[in-house]
């Protein structure tokens, strides 16, 4: 037997490096900044253009024909696809950072439907509370209270929804789940990914992700300025809820489906209101 002690294990120089998805190399920071600026400006530019359109034209932003609605949807998707391709070239954001993987079989579909109901309830409660406080304090007049809520008529013509079943179907499917749901939640996922990549110490924790979601919700709300300032607050609150769904489930699809069901229900509600008898609308304060 030898009296020599066994050799000590080799010491490593430190902890293993983080995967590339969890760190940002200095050479890529410029690309991530371009990614963040491009995505951050996107809803703001749309909001300004939409506001200019509604100020020049008293009619709704969306065309009144089914073919026109499909054409506008195709153009908006093409423009966003071009923008997101440029964003990807800048940062090489990957599927994991965007939470693109479908998880849980049918659960995202069920959760999305349930979350859409929950979001509508929460937004309704918050809105009623704000309006009640405004009425009690006198900071909101009766006309403001009666007109509270997103001005969907600035977006789509209710009479067209009422008289054209194909238009209603496209609004509740293509417009709700793809143009709004998929496009806007992909925007949100990309925006959050850039914040986390650029400021990992600030936005990688649970509290940091909630703050990032709130920041994205403000920009998301401002992108809907053509529907009115009350809509900016309500849609910002909706964006905050959708962002929480995205980050806590780590699933883009839960948020896409919740968003799609929410918007589809809004179009269905507008359709039902358009079909209400005029006497009932006047009784509820919705008629002239």
Looking at mean pLDDT, say which of 11-25, 71-85, 221-235, 271-285 comes out highest: 71-85
pLDDT tens readout for residues 196-236: 999 999 999 999 999 999 999 999 888 877 666 777 888 89
Average pLDDT, stretch 182-188?
A: 96
pLDDT tens readout for residues 15-64: 444 444 444 455 489 999 999 999 999 988 887 777 666 656 666 778 88
Model pTM?
0.82
For residue 13, pLDDT over 50 is answered with no
DSSP string, the chain: ---SPPPPPPPPSSSPPPPGGG---HHHHHHHHHHHHHHHHHHHHHHHHHHHHHHH-SS-SS-SSHHHHHHHHHHHHHHHHHHHHHHHHHH---TTTTT-S--STTHHHHHHHHHHHHHHHHHHHHHHHHHHHHHHHTSS-HHHHHT-S--GGGTS-HHHHHH-HHHHHHIIIIIIIIIIIIHHHHHHHHHHHHHHHH-HHHHSSHHHHHHHHHHHHHHHHHTTGGG-HHHHHHHHHHHHHHHHHHHHHT-HHHHHHHHHHHHHHHHHHHHHHHTS-HHHHHHTT---
Please tell me which residue, 147 or 259, carries the higher pLDDT value: 259
């Amino acid at each position: 037997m030898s009296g020599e002690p066994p050799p000590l294990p080799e010491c490593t120089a430190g902890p293993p490096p983080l995967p590339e998805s969890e760190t940002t190399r200095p050479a890529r920071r410029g690309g991530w900044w371009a990614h963040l600026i491009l995505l951050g400006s996107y809803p703001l530019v749309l909001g300004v253009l939409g506001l200019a359109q509604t100020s020049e034209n008293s009619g709704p932003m969306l065309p009144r024909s089914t073919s026109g609605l499909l054409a506008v949807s195709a153009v908006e998707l093409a423009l966003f696809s071009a923008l997101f391709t440029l964003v990807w070239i800048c940062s090489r954001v990957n599927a994991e950072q965007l939470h693109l993987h479908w998880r849980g079989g049918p659960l995202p579909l069920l959760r999305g439907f349930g979350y859409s109901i929950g979001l509508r309830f929460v937004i309704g409660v918050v809105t009623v509370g704000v309006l009640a406080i405004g009425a009690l304090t006198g900071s909101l007049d009766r006309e403001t209270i009666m007109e509270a809520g997103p001005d969907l008529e600035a977006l789509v013509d209710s009479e067209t929804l009422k008289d054209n079943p194909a238009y209603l179907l496209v609004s509740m499917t293509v417009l709700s789940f793809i143009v709004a749901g998929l496009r806007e939640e992909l925007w949100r996922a990309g925006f959050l990914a850039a914040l986390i990549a650029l400021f990992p110490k600030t936005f990688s924790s649970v509290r940091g992700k909630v703050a990032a979601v709130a920041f994205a919700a403000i920009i998301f709300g401002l992108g809907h300025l053509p529907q009115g300032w009350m809509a900016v607050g309500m849609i910002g609150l909706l964006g905050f809820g959708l962002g929480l769904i995205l980050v806590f489930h780590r699933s883009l699809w839960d948020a896409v489906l919740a968003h799609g069901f929410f918007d589809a229900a809004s179009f269905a509600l507008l359709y039902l209101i358009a079909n209400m008898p005029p006497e009932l609308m006047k009784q509820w304060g919705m008629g002239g």
